[in-house]
Amino acid sequence: MSTPIPARIAALREAMARHGVAACLVPTADPHLSEYLPAHWQAREWLSGFNGSAGTLLVTANEAGLWTDSRYFSQAEQQLAGTGIALMKQRIAHAPEHLTWLQQHLHQGDVIAVAGDSISVGTQRQIENLLGGVGIKLRVDLDLPAMIWPERPALPRAPVIEHALDYAGMSRGEKFDKLRHALRKQHATHHLVSSLDDIAWLTNLRGSDVECNPVFLAHLLVEADGASTLFIDRSKLSDSLVAALAKEQVRIADYATLGDALGELGASHTLLFDPGRVVSAVLQAVKPQVKRIEGANPSTIFKACKSKTELNHIREVMRRDGAALARAFRRLEERLTAGMTQTELDVDTLLREERSAQPNFVGESFATIAGYMENGALPHYRATPEAHNTLQRHGLLLIDSGGQYLGGTTDITRVLALGPTTSEQRRDATLVMKGMIALSRARFPKGASGPQLDALARAPLWAAGMDYGHGTGHGVGYFLNVHEGPQGIRPPVAGGALVPLEPGMISSIEPGLYKPARHGIRHENLAVVVEADLTEFGEFYAFETLTLCPFDRRALEPGLLNPDERAWLDDYHASVRAALAPLLEDADLAWLEKHCAPI
């Protein structure tokens, strides 16, 4: 089957030649540096055909490469076939990253172009520092992909709604007061916020401009001793919502006028911004005489540490979400037992039907991953009508899914045994489970960070000479993005920030193991950091598991679990049974009792 990709790359090269550009860099980014992008900014996907959520396209006159990480190697290899774009594997020994590759292939005087609204201030500096020393120039004033994209999608215009105070737990006024106090402590007169989840949290507003993420396109400029300005498409807001915002000193300005407002700042002003969360094009409008403070958005840590109100809502959401999953898994089991043909697509449909029946359900928190057997070995696999597996009465089915509710965001992975399993499958699933239990049971001192705990989840796999290529845990928002910072549980990275885990932070715990063309394993719960002990050595924290859904013990090898691990699993299933039983009846309740029985 022919693909339009070579023609698009050829058109890009023609535009590069017209502007004297030796290389064009196309990252996965928008002016808010979001993880998931509105279609308007999906230039990398349009040019390459690769639709994974992470990747960087680099095109020169004679070569083109797509850099992505191990989660997407198999997917990228399939989607790039026949395009003339090479798969370049990131974070692989002896394989050059894209900037190193540029150093090796460009020459003094060459020019690289990248759209200024798709590159952070921090990344721009990194490129200039790395390549400027060898005489290579970076231009951020050329959006070459936009020049050749004839049917570029329009900006989304979905309506914005209020997140009710009963769920938000803190008013807009309280949140802005807390933010302004932080600004005054840093002697900042103004603060620019471009990250969409920070803006949604601060304003107690939600939208649907980004698939599965209840956020809306906007920038926010906050004055430490004055009003705030929300730069947004006015048509998204009702008159009553505009009036409510005005009462709390939040003015409305057109989305496209942020540069004008920044240009009005002068020498008496001090602007706080996060160089990793603000794009180059936005900051170009700020005059040189404006004082600048670079640092994390204060709202990011405020948002990460959930309040008691938020946690109470989340615990109830976990009960409802767990009950929905129990019903869906029971129905799937029943259909397979009855000999009905079921595919990975049917799994997605079952989950959506059951979640949609729950109170205050808004939508999915990400596209469901239902990977049977070899498809489970693709960490970010997504079944399509054109390519999917039919389920059989044997082997393993990996299901990673989540929901957005008014009272919280869920993200859960379970591995189901659809029938007889091999000893290798059960051993692998149990080794991953041992790592999950070890991290879930961890006690750690105040000030400890995710990278310091990551090895706990990997140790059982390392002992068997195995590992996985993704992080062990990510922060999770509150009726917001399913991936949230600033914390994370992942291997240490040279120069990477060690963000302390603090009470109220919600993180996934999701070790995995992937064997291409065979099977994939990932167990995932969400957990919140809680205070545990106070000893002579200081304060200690722990994880409280929030997710409520049984693991399929048929996929495990109980003999590989030690007594403490068995006790943790039995205790977890007892808590699941107690929480979900009041919400289930008849066949669903019987299914729950069966799967929550002691190991």
**pLDDT at res. 243:** 97
- Rounded-to-integer distance, Cα 352 and Cα 342, Å: 15
- Rounded-to-integer distance, Cα 398 and Cα 417, Å: 9
Residue 1 has pLDDT above 60, yes or no: no
**pLDDT at res. 92:** 80
Residue 3 has pLDDT above 80, yes or no: no
pLDDT in tens, 436-459: 999 999 999 999 999 999 999 999
Peptide bond into 486 cis (omega under 30): yes
User: What's the mean pLDDT in 66-82?
Assistant: 89
With contact defined as beta carbons under 8 Å apart, do 66 and 55 qualify?
A: yes
Band (325; pLDDT cuts 50, 70, 90): very high
Q: Please report the domains of the chain, with CATH numbers, ordered by start residue.
A: 5-147 (3.40.350.10), 161-298 (3.40.350.10), 308-595 (3.90.230.10)
Q: How high does pLDDT run on average in the chain? A: 96
438, two tokens: 């070890």
pLDDT in tens, 364-410: 999 999 999 999 998 888 888 888 999 999 999 999 999 999 999 99
Question: Would the pTM of this model clear 0.85, i.e. be above it?
Answer: yes
High-pLDDT (> 70) share of the chain, %: 100
Residue 72 has pLDDT above 60, yes or no: yes
Band (2; pLDDT cuts 50, 70, 90): low
User: What's the mean pLDDT in 316-336?
Assistant: 98
Beta pairing class for 56-60 and 64-68:
antiparallel
**pLDDT at res. 132:** 86
pLDDT in tens, 129-173: 988 888 999 999 999 999 999 999 999 999 999 999 999 999 999
Distance (Å) of CA 282 to CA 118, 226, 504, 574: 10, 22, 33, 52
Q: Residue 493 has what DSSP assignment? A: -
- Rounded-to-integer distance, Cα 111 and Cα 138, Å: 6
pLDDT in tens, 531-583: 999 999 999 999 999 999 999 999 999 999 999 999 999 999 999 999 999 99
402, two tokens: 């989540």
pLDDT in tens, 88-102: 998 887 788 898 898
End-to-end CA distance of the chain: 51
- Rounded-to-integer distance, Cα 61 and Cα 58, Å: 10
